Chain A
């Protein structure tokens, strides 16, 4: 009960911060970054469900983001489909493809999904760049129309900020609900011990598949939002590097923590901007920072800081009063 109450308070505070943030952040550049943080966090939240709860890794999530993005661009620009319908089509397409990839790979134990998605991501990024008739090739698809809500075009930074963060806010609430549900417990059980989960009645293959499809759908939603925001779809954005960036966001933020992807996305997106003056050295610098974070905050920024706060608030145990966890054997003296 206390845990639920704390989550509820955190969600209210989070909503207040989101509403107030644009009042403090007025320059278009910084508002753009806030939008990107939200879009990345959306994709990273899906990945966090997959990695942090079900213990599976996808190294090709950029492909799902790209499928969402290109579905929006192709359908709304080339075929004149309503942008919202295009968005839904992209999400459905990405979910179907994830389902097809997941069926053979998720039945097996081990990291077959990581290998399969790695290859899938590579293939999809080549398709984006080479299928000129559909995707416009390296040049991409310009002139993607803005999304409209009740006749209002979401064509400036502020309006889009509210759209993206509303989507993210809803996703965070859903993630929090899932985490404390039958489904969330089943996923965490799978990560803990697949055999124990199975003999408890959990169809592990089916749950891993469901969460993989969900994560692909969230990625496609992020991709569609991205393309409508910058009004342009190009293959360079949806390559292997972005897949890795999403994994980094999920890990760095703290796997299995509902706030992790937002923190991870904030850190990675901001770092990307800050390291830009380093030009070609930005990737090595990025790698170095990641390694340092994982050495000093192995459970991710959010979770590690949370534990630190807990430790500072808890009364210091006197010597020998608290037995170390897990080492305690059966017998009493």
Chain B
């Protein structure tokens, strides 16, 4: 399996904001059959890296290969169409829409009906609507929120909103899903549920790539960990080795142990 071409490869990825080098020549390899995590202290450049991978930010330098295609410089909706989905650190559910409608938005890249189909409720629109509804309900079942489908998405508790974002991401049937600090703000039980969901993603053929502060979660579920500090990658490897890496302990774990 490991001989397979990685699903995502970034080479020399750099992002400069004026005088600030947010991400500095980072190389990243994400194998399709593993859970990969990126960790690092606040301001290490993790979210900037995600924003470049998903097309929200254009890299200053460097290349991104997603499923063998150059995607650096492509707009986010095109990258999404190629099978890359993501969630946000500060959850971004759409306001004024039910949970189910929010998840239905996630079907966008898998459906085709346009303005005329919609306005006249033509067969294609109705067919896609029916099929989409079933797929979205199944995804809500998967993240344990099927009972809340008709609730206003923004009225859900925070932990549910995080899982709702995951449901919205997976109904696009992506190959890779970027999870930006999925455990932030969750309690212990919710973290355990989240870990189970992330592990189960792989069985659906979706490769999870996550960024997180939560060491327990990362060490439990990931096969490979990359560590960022001040925009640079300072270590990479299996979780056990990362935990004993001197540079990592100094840059990141050291902070936590100190307090």
Contact = CB atoms under 8 A, between A and B. Distances in A.
Interface of A: 174, 177-178, 180-186, 188-189, 191-193, 195-204, 210, 214, 256, 325-326, 328-332
B118 A195 contact: no
Nearest to A206: B77
B75 to A, nearest CB: 7
B56 A195 contact: yes
B105 interface: yes
Contacts of B155: 325-326
B100 to A, nearest CB: 10
A189 B95 CA distance: 8
Contacts of A256: 96
B88 interface: yes
8 contacts: A182-B107, A185-B105, A186-B105, A189-B97, A192-B95, A202-B108, A326-B155, A330-B185
A331 B187 contact: yes
B155 to A, nearest CB: 4
* Interface core residue of B104, B111, B115 (most chain A CB under 10 Å): B115
Q: SS class of chain A's interface: helix, strand, loop or mixed?
A: helix
Given A177-B119, A183-B114, A183-B115, A330 B80 contact: no
Interface stretch (B22-30, B120-128, B216-224, B228-236): B120-128
Q: List 10 tightest A-B contacts by C-beta distance, closest first.
A: A192-B94, A201-B80, A201-B109, A181-B118, A196-B92, A325-B155, A198-B76, A174-B119, A330-B185, A330-B158
Given A182-B125, A199-B85, A329 B185 contact: yes
Contact of A181 (B95, B129, B152, B168): B129
Given A182-B125, A195-B56, A203 B96 contact: no
Given A185-B101, A195-B76, 4 more contacts: A174-B120, A182-B129, A193-B92, A196-B94
B44 interface: no
A314 B185 CA distance: 33
B30 to A, nearest CB: 17
Contact of B75 (A185, A189, A198, A328): A198
B115 A200 contact: no
Interface string B53-74: 0111000000000000000000
Given A182-B108, A196-B92, A202 B115 contact: no
Contacts of A185: 97, 101, 104-105, 108
Interface string B138-156: 0000000000000010110
B38 to A, nearest CB: 17
Classify chain B: how many residues form its interface, as a range. 35 or more
Given A181-B129, A326-B155, A199 B55 contact: yes
A200 B106 contact: yes
Contacts of B117: 181-182
Interface of B: 54-56, 75-77, 79-81, 85-86, 88, 92-97, 101, 104-109, 111, 113-115, 117-121, 125, 128-129, 152, 154-155, 157-159, 168, 172, 185-187, 190
Contact of B108 (A201, A325, A326): A201
Contacts of A193: 92, 94
Contacts of B56: 195, 198-199
A192 B76 CA distance: 17
A326 B54 CA distance: 28
Given A329-B185, A330-B187, A192 B118 contact: no
A97 to B, nearest CB: 18
B137 to A, nearest CB: 13
Contacts of A182: 104, 107-108, 111, 113, 117-118, 125, 128-129
A210 B158 contact: no
Given A178-B118, A178-B119, A330-B187, A204 B77 contact: yes
Given A193-B92, A200-B172, A183 B77 contact: no
Nearest to A210: B115
* Interface core residue of B77, B88, B190 (most chain A CB under 10 Å): B77
Contacts of A204: 77
Contacts of A328: 157-158
Contact of A326 (B75, B107, B154): B154
A192 B158 contact: no
Contacts of A198: 55-56, 75-77, 80
Contacts of A178: 115, 118-119
Contacts of A325: 152, 154-155
A183 B190 contact: no
Contacts of B128: 182
B119 A199 contact: no
Contact of B97 (A188, A199, A326, A330): A188
Contacts of A332: 187
